[in-house]
Amino acid sequence: MRSLRRYSAIPSSRRSSLEVLLDTNVLLWSIFERHKLTPRVRQIIDDDLNELFLSRTSLWEMSAKAATGRLPLVGRSIVFVLEQVERTGLNLLELEDRYILRTETLPQHHGDPFDRILVAQALEEGLTILSADSDIPKYDAPVIWK
């Protein structure tokens, strides 16, 4: 099992077959409801040659939603999700100033600040986003779902 690694930027020597940034919904479904993932997304997640990234912003989003009851973790807390992230060895992207600054120049396709940070991170790092969110493809970042 890969160990948890933290990147503020992706070293060019670490380039792999496909580098993807998991949206919050994809992370949650991969842990709790894999049947909701498309076959293509499951294949990408399961392929060891692909490099999987998760934004700390997604963890913050889950925590905020769990605190307000909008994310039912069914007898579990966000700690369980954090343990699963560490167990699977996802690469964590920190929240950097350049990502925040990039959101300022993004079109206003929708107002979800968590999604806007994910888009900014994908654009800055050259990542493809795995997401079922219908608003994400409105941006210039590459997205895979189907």
Confidence at 5, pLDDT banded by 50, 70, 90: very low
Alpha carbon of residue 142 to chain centroid: 13
Q: What is the pLDDT of residues 25-45, one digit of tens each?
A: 999 999 889 999 999 999 999
pTM listed for this prediction: 0.85
Domain membership of residue 90 as a residue range: 5-144
Domain count, the chain: 1
In angstroms, the CA 77 to CA 62 distance is 10
Alpha carbon of residue 81 to chain centroid: 13
CATH of the domain at 20: 3.40.50.1010
Q: With 90 as the cut, is the pLDDT of residue 84 above it?
A: no
* Cα maximum dimension of the chain: 42
CB-side neighbour CA atoms (13 Å) of 91:
18
